[in-house]
């Protein structure tokens, strides 16, 4: 992109090198082709040793991208280099427009065969949790395992943020819908932005920009919720004063993202109960984020995966279940029936976050219908998240339990 030159100088204003950066579309394309070839040559050298040497194990990862007319599947390969270090290299980025499991699997196998690599040395396959990728019967992982001669390819999905999303389904407040609709309400209207700034200033809050939550980047959720809370009084004042469901300058459906095909409705931001949901999610989501961030480290984390999963599971159990139940089953937490309400805490004892509890007390909301429904939905959040973790997380995986012995700590 020719505009990237200007972006570099703005990103690093104190760098003379950045100010002199000049790499337009043509030059960048040639650089990418050269770097790509170098990466592929390095993979071939590392994984195809001289005759007599044992072939090395490797893992594959891929994810579909459909930003343009074509659907691309960049393929990355992770292996051990000649110095004994684990590294990830770019392998290929084929186009698979008819992206069913069979075509994706055949494309991956073709990319490997072009380099002379065999699936027999593939140890793991990393993808998202879509059924087309990891479906038990006809997913890409299943098809690759069938093509592999002997052994099994270890499948690694993306279960962490999906556990939180599963819990959110129990709430009548959808944070992703709310955050996306909020950004698009102010996105193209200088008038609405100015009115919001005036209301934020009127409420004696620091004027801050509404951050954009990217639905494919789960870690942005916590930051965007924090920003909303920082300007909450100003936002509520704006929606009480200016927002009209029937007459709004909000961009039409073609110019904004939609979730589940629904039109955005921000009128609920006028109600105090909305803030309870935002406060609760701001308190609970960092627990998922901490686990998610651990998995995104560049160094190998497989030896820490099992303890980290159980730590997250135990934390959520502690938010929902009675302490006595957890103590009685401390040697086998997975044996606890998380949907049994007689084993769960009372509504008053459920973890909803300190700030959430303080708001209920200060505004004397305890005992109201809205707070009762809120606490019931929080209970459902924990139940759904825990059930999903038991079903989808490899909590009982024998390999992950065994490799814990390699943890130097």
Domains and CATH numbers, the chain: 45-158 (3.30.420), 159-409 (no CATH)
How many other C-beta atoms can be found within 10 angstroms of the C-beta atom of residue 302? 16
Q: Between vectors from CA 332 to CA 330 and to CA 338, what angle results, nearest 5°?
A: 90
| Helix axes 272-295 and 354-362, enclosed angle (nearest 10) | 170
pTM: 0.77
175-233 confidence digits (pLDDT tens): 888 888 888 888 878 888 899 999 999 998 888 888 888 776 778 888 999 999 999 99
Tokens for 333? 């937490």
Cβ atoms of residues 309 and 385 within 8 Å: no
How far are the Cα atoms of 255, 276, 280, 314, 363 from residue 359, in angstroms, in the given order?
36, 8, 11, 27, 6
Is 378 exposed, middle or buried, given 0-12, 13-18 or 19+ CB atoms closer than 10 A? buried
- CA dist., res. 140 & res. 125, Å (int): 9
The pLDDT score that the predictor gives to residue 161 is 66
The pLDDT score that the predictor gives to residue 273 is 87
In the chain, what is the greatest distance between 2 CA atoms, to the nearest angstrom? 77
Query: How far apart, in Å, do the first and last CA atoms of the chain sit?
Result: 46
The pLDDT score that the predictor gives to residue 277 is 95
| Helix axes 175-186 and 220-230, enclosed angle (nearest 10) | 60
Q: In what order do the strands lie in the sheet with 86-92?
A: 86-92, 75-80, 58-62, 122-126, 154-156
The pLDDT score that the predictor gives to residue 66 is 67
DSSP-derived secondary structure letter, 393: S
> Kind and range of the H or E element at 78?
strand 75-80
Tokens for 233? 């009084």
Place of tokens 């395992």: 145
Q: Compute, in degrees rounded to 10, the torsion defined by CA atoms 29, 32, 33, 35.
A: 160
Is 229 exposed, middle or buried, given 0-12, 13-18 or 19+ CB atoms closer than 10 A? middle
Q: Which residues of the chain have pLDDT under 70?
A: 1-2, 49-53, 66-68, 159, 161, 216, 244-265
Q: Between vectors from CA 366 to CA 360 and to CA 371, what angle results, nearest 5°?
A: 80
Classify strands 75-80 and 58-62 as parallel, antiparallel or unpaired: antiparallel
The pLDDT score that the predictor gives to residue 129 is 79
Instruction: Output b/e per residue, 248-281; b: 16+ Cβ within 10 A.
Output: eebeeeeebeeeeeeebebeebeeebbbbbbbbb
Question: Nearest Cα to 243, choosing from 274, 258, 265?
Answer: 265
Residues sharing a CB contact under 8 Å with residue 191, sequence separation 6 or more, in sequence order: 249
Cβ atoms of residues 359 and 365 within 8 Å: yes
């Amino acid at each position: 992109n020719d505009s990237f030159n200007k972006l570099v100088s703005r990103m690093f204003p104190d760098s003379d090198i950045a100010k002199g950066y000049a790499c337009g579309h043509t030059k960048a394309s040639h650089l990418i082709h050269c770097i790509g070839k170098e990466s592929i040559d390095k993979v071939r050298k590392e994984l195809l040793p001289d005759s007599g040497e044992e072939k090395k194990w490797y893992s594959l990862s891929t994810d579909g991208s459909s930003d343009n007319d074509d659907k691309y599947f960049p393929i990355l390969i992770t292996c051990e280099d000649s110095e004994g270090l684990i590294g990830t290299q770019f392998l290929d980025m084929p186009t698979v427009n008819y992206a069913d499991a069979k075509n994706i699997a055949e494309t991956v196998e073709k990319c490997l065969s072009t380099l002379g690599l065999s699936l027999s040395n593939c140890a793991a396959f990393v993808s998202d949790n879509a059924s087309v990728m990891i479906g038990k019967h006809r997913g890409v992982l299943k098809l690759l395992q069938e093509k592999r001669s002997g052994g099994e390819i270890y499948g690694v999905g993306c279960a962490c943020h999906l556990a939180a999303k599963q819990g959110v389904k129990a709430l009548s407040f959808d944070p992703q819908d709310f955050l996306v609709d909020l950004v698009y309400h102010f996105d193209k209207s200088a008038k609405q932005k100015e009115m919001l700034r005036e209301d934020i200033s009127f409420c004696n809050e620091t004027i801050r920009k509404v951050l954009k939550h990217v639905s494919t980047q789960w870690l942005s959720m916590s930051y965007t919720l924090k920003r909303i809370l920082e300007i909450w009084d100003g936002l509520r004042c704006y929606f009480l004063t200016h927002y009209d469901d029937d007459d709004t300058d909000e961009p039409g459906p073609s110019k904004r993202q939609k979730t589940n095909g629904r039109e955005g409705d921000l009128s609920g931001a006028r109600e105090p109960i909305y803030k309870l949901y935002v406060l609760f999610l701001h308190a609970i989501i960092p627990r998922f984020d901490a686990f998610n961030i651990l998995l995104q480290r560049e160094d190998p984390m497989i030896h820490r995966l099992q303890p980290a999963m159980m730590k997250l599971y135990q934390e959520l159990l502690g938010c929902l279940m009675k302490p006595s139940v957890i103590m009685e089953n401390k040697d086998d937490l997975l044996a606890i029936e998380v949907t049994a309400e007689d084993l769960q805490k009372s509504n008053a004892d459920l973890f909803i976050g300190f700030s959430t509890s303080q708001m209920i007390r200060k505004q004397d909301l305890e005992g109201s219908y809205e707070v009762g429904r809120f606490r019931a939905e929080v209970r459902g959040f924990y139940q759904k998240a825990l059930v999903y973790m038991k079903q989808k997380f490899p909590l009982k995986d024998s390999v992950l339990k065994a490799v814990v012995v390699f943890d130097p700590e």
